[in-house]
Amino acid sequence: MVTRLFVACSLMALCVTIHAGGVTYALRRLRRSRMPALRFWSSTGLFVLIAVWIVFLHLAEISAWAVAYAWNGAMPDLQTALYFSAVTYTTTGYGDVLLPEPWRLDGGVEALTGILMCGWSTGFFFTIVNRLYEPHTRPTTV
């Protein structure tokens, strides 16, 4: 059980690393480019790009869990592992595919990881929207 918890925490750390790298990359790209003027299509295009990037990060994290399940024989094949991982990470939890009993703690850690990463993504998305819509005034010096 301690080994399983260690593996689950290692996968969680990998997800945090993927997310941190992806968000940092996106922030650097956004800082280099000018934020679009407050026009519907330009801001909508930016929101779509950010949403696609965030989904890509989540899919990479889901895939990391799925590879671990398939590699270690917890799932019969990669396709089933990807499906199970996506359902677990997003906390949808259909229950039609289950992990073997020794692996069930990993599924719970994956669900908690998904919650954390989705919260992080929401905060990141909100920050971008907030910066786009904040007034562009110079701060006054006191």
The DSSP annotation for 109-122 comes to HHHHHHHHHHHHHH
Do the beta carbons of residue 109 and residue 9 sit within 8 Å? yes
pLDDT averaged over the chain? 89
Which fold is adopted by the domain 2-133? Helix Hairpins (1.10.287)
Report the C-alpha gap between 68 and 74 in whole angstroms. 8
Entry pTM: 0.85
The residues spanned by each domain of the chain are 2-133
Confidence of residue 17 (pLDDT cuts 50, 70, 90): very high
